[in-house]
C-alpha cells in the first residue's frame, strides 16, 4: 500500500506555510501529535499537573509499548529521556573504562558523542579509535573486524550521521559485536522514523533516539533502548528517587528495568506526543515511509546534480533522506537565506558537528536538505529552481 501524500499533507498544518526540508533538524508535526499535546496541556491547566498525569496514566504507559513495537524490543527495555544526547549519555557514562581500553567509533560520529569519548578517555586512559571507512564512505566492516582484540570494550557508532545521506551498515557491525561479545551502542537519532529499525536484527545492546526529527514528534523528547541482559550490569551515572528507591539509611535499590535511566520530572504532554508520533509512523508503516522518503531524496540528488556548479556531498552505498550540497562560488548562508525567502526550510551542517568526517573530506559548511515522505516533487523542483538561479 502506498502513502496518500495529499491526505498526509492535509493533516500537517506546516505544509500550508512552508516547504520543509529540515526534517533532520525538527520535522513538521502531524495534527494528531499536536492534538495530543494541546489536549494534555489544557487538562493540566484545568485539573493540575499531577492529576492530569494520573488521568492519562494508561496512555503514558502505552508510549513504552509503542516504542517497543517500533524497534522490536520489550517495553521494559525502553527509557523515556528528554533528548537523544542525554539518552546516549546515560548509556555511555554507565560503562567503566580502564587505561588501555579501546572505544571503536565511526568517522561520521556526532560531536556530542565524540566530546563524551574525549572526556572519558582523558579521565580513564581509554583510547578512541575511529574505524576507517570503505570505498563507499561507510564504516568498513572488514576494518572493524581487524581492530577487534581484548582491548576493545565498546563499539559506539552513528547509524545515519547528521550531515548526509550515509547509512552505516548497522546490522553487519552488530554481527561483529555479537560474535566477540562486545557491547554495541548505536546512535539512531537520524535513522529513527526514517528507516526500519529492528534492534534484534541489528544486534545492538543500546540505542538512542530523538522524537523531533524523522519521527515527527515534539521537541524535548527522546528515548533509550537497553537490552535486558545488558541492563542488569549497568548502573546509570545519575540516580534519583524515580530511578532508585531509598530503602534503608545506607542503601538504595535501582529499578529493575530500563527506567533506571530515566529521571523523575518530565513533560508529560511531550511524552504523550512522542507516543502519538510513534503510533502515527506505525500506522503508515515504516517500510512505506522509508521507501517513499528515499525515493524522493534520490530525486532531489538527481535534480541537484544536473544543475551547473552544484556538488552533492552524500556518501555511502545506501543513501537515506538527508541530502547535502554546495554551489561553487556561492556562500552557504546566501543559499540558505535565498531558500528561506522562498519559504523553503533547509539547514547548514558545519564542520564541528561531525569534525572527523568534515575535515577528512575538506568540507567546512554544506547545505542540508533533509527530505521526508510528505515533501512533494513540486517542492523539490522549487528548491532546485531557487538554488539554480543563484549567481
Ligand X SMILES: *Cc1c(COP(=O)(O)O)cnc(C)c1O
CB 362 within 8 A of CB 318: no
- Of the pair 224, 226, the CB lying nearest ligand X is at 224
Least gap, CB of 338 to ligand X (angstroms): 25
Least gap, CB of 232 to ligand X (angstroms): 26
Beta-strand runs (E) in the chain:
19-20, 78-81, 102-106, 127-131, 152-158, 184-187, 206-210, 222-226, 244-248, 251-254, 310-312, 322-327, 344-345, 347-350, 365-370
The span of 59-67, 185-193, 243-251, 284-292 binding ligand X (CB under 6 A) equals: 185-193
Rounded Cα distance between 335 and 378, Å, is: 19
Q: 332-341 and 377-389 helices cross at what angle (nearest 10)? A: 130
197 binds ligand X (CB under 6 A): no
- The cell 512552508 sits on which residue? 18
- Of the pair 23, 303, the CB lying nearest ligand X is at 23
Name the strands in the sheet holding 365-370, side by side, starting at the edge strand that comes first in the sequence: 310-312, 322-327, 365-370, 347-350
Rounded Cα distance between 330 and 314, Å, is: 19
Among 29, 36, 83, 94, binds ligand X (CB under 6 A): 83
Least gap, CB of 222 to ligand X (angstroms): 5
The span of 10-18, 82-90, 263-271, 299-307 binding ligand X (CB under 6 A) equals: 82-90
Least gap, CB of 151 to ligand X (angstroms): 26
- Of the pair 14, 25, the CB lying nearest ligand X is at 25
- Of the pair 52, 192, the CB lying nearest ligand X is at 192
Nearest to 274 by CA among 224, 211, 209: 211
The span of 72-80, 89-97, 120-128, 184-192 binding ligand X (CB under 6 A) equals: 184-192
CB 205 within 8 A of CB 301: no
Rounded Cα distance between 291 and 168, Å, is: 17
Least gap, CB of 131 to ligand X (angstroms): 16
The span of 38-46, 91-99, 155-163, 329-337 binding ligand X (CB under 6 A) equals: 155-163
Among 189, 202, 312, 383, binds ligand X (CB under 6 A): 189
The span of 60-68, 154-162, 176-184, 309-317 binding ligand X (CB under 6 A) equals: 154-162
**CA atoms lying within 13 Å on the CB side of residue 253:** 5
- Of the pair 44, 82, the CB lying nearest ligand X is at 82
Among 36, 80, 90, 161, binds ligand X (CB under 6 A): 161
Rounded Cα distance between 313 and 329, Å, is: 16
The span of 60-68, 80-88, 115-123, 332-340 binding ligand X (CB under 6 A) equals: 80-88
Least gap, CB of 308 to ligand X (angstroms): 31
What one-character-per-residue DSSP string does 39-84 give? Answer: HHHHHHHHH-HHHHHHHTHHHHHHHHHHHHHHHTS-GGGEEEESSH
- Of the pair 30, 164, the CB lying nearest ligand X is at 164
Rounded Cα distance between 207 and 92, Å, is: 10
Among 92, 97, 110, 184, binds ligand X (CB under 6 A): 110
- 89, three cell numbers: 549519555
Residues of span 200-259 touching ligand X by CB under 6 A: 210, 222
Rounded Cα distance between 308 and 306, Å, is: 7
- Of the pair 92, 373, the CB lying nearest ligand X is at 92
The residues binding ligand X (CB under 6 A) are 83-85, 110, 158, 161-162, 187, 189-190, 210, 222
Amino acid at each position: 500500500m502506498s502513502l496518500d501524500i495529499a491526505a498526509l499533507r492535509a493533516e500537517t498544518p506546516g505544509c500550508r506555510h512552508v516547504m520543509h526540508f529540515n526534517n533532520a533538524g525538527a520535522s513538521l508535526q502531524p495534527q494528531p501529535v499536536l492534538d495530543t499535546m494541546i489536549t494534555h496541556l489544557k487538562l493540566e491547566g484545568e485539573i493540575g499537573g499531577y492529576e492530569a498525569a494520573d488521568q492519562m496514566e494508561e496512555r503514558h504507559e502505552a508510549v513504552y509499548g509503542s516504542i517497543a513495537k517500533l524497534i522490536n524490543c520489550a517495553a521494559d527495555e525502553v527509557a523515556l529521556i528528554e533528548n537523544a544526547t542525554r539518552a546516549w549519555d546515560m548509556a555511555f557514562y554507565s560503562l567503566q573504562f580502564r587505561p588501555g581500553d579501546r572505544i571503536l567509533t565511526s568517522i561520521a560520529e556526532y560531536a556530542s558523542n565524540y566530546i563524551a569519548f574525549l572526556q572519558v578517555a582523558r579521565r580513564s586512559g581509554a583510547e578512541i579509535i575511529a574505524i576507517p571507512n570503505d570505498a563507499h564512505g561507510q564504516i568498513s566492516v572488514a576494518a572493524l573486524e581487524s581492530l577487534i582484540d581484548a582491548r576493545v570494550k565498546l563499539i559506539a557508532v552513528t547509524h545515519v550521521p547528521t550531515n548526509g545521506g550515509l547509512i552505516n551498515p548497522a546490522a553487519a557491525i552488530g554481527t561483529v559485536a555479537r560474535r566477540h561479545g562486545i557491547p554495541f551502542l548505536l546512535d539512531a537519532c537520524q535513522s529513527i522514523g526514517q528507516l526500519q529499525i529492528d534492534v534484534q536484527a541489528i544486534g545492538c545492546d543500546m540505542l538512542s533516539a530523538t522524537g523531533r526529527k524523522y519521527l515527527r514528534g515534539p521537541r524535548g523528547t527522546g528515548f533509550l533502548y537497553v537490552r535486558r541482559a545488558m541492563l542488569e550490569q549497568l548502573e546509570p551515572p545519575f540516580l534519583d528517587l524515580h530511578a532508585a528507591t531509598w530503602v534503608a539509611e545506607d542503601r538504595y535499590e535501582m529499578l529493575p528495568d530500563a527506567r533506571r535511566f530515566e529521571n523523575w520530572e518530565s513533560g508529560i504532554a511531550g511524552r504523550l506526543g512522542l507516543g502519538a508520533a510513534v503510533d502515527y509512523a506505525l500506522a503508515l508503516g515504516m517500510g512505506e515511509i522509508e521507501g517513499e522518503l528515499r525515493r524522493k531524496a534520490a530525486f532531489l540528488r538527481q535534480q541537484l546534480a544536473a544543475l551547473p556548479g552544484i556538488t552533492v556531498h552524500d556518501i555511502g552505498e545506501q543513501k537515506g533522506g538527508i541530502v547535502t550540497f554546495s554551489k561553487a562560488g556561492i556562500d552557504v548562508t546566501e543559499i540558505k537565506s535565498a531558500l528561506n525567502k522562498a519559504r523553503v526550510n533547509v539547514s547548514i551542517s558545519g564542520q564541528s558537528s561531525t569534525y572527523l568526517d568534515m575535515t577528512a573530506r575538506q568540507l567546512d559548511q554544506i547545505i542540508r536538505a533533509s527530505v521526508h515522505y510528505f515533501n512533494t516533487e513540486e517542492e523539490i523542483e522549487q528548491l532546485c529552481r531557487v538554488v539554480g538561479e543563484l549567481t
